[in-house]
Amino acid sequence: MESDATRFWIFVAVSLVVFVGLLRFVTRHRTSRPRTGVLAVVAAVVVVGGMVFAKYGNNLGLPWWIYYTVPALATLLVPPVIFRLRGRELAQYLFLAFLSSPAIHVVFSLFLGWHEYMPFIPVPSLKQLMA
């Protein structure tokens, strides 16, 4: 059985991989793609910083609209500004950014029975569905 801390850092790691992949995908047609260092810093701030803020904001009793909104705004605003996303890139980024968190939540909930990622979206596990 994994601890809450282990689960949290697994969520962070998966989210980080998805986020970096999303940015690489969105900027794939550029002749000068985002530098790895800049991408790593943005990913660390948005994903790691955002998830730590949300976790500890919740633990400290902050209202949900603060501990979910601040990381969501960072996700929606920081990468488009830093990477100067325009037109198609921006549309793809926003669509995939909105889709990625619920998709990660569904996968973890369905296959592992871990419901902490977005607990307000109830998704039963396969184990629950087959019982």
65-119: pLDDT as tens digits:
898 899 999 999 999 999 999 999 999 999 999 999 889 988 998 899 888 777 7
The C-alpha atoms of residue 125 and residue 131 are separated, in whole angstroms, by: 10
Would you list the domain boundaries of the chain? Answer: 4-102
Angle, vertex CA 88, rays to CA 97 and CA 36, nearest 5: 60
Share in percent of the chain as helix, strand, coil (round to 5):
75, 0, 25
Q: What is the mean pLDDT of residues 46-75?
A: 92
Q: How far are the Cα atoms of 25, 68, 120 from residue 53, in angstroms, in the given order?
A: 26, 9, 18
SS3 15: helix
> Is a pLDDT exceeding 70 seen at residue 1?
no
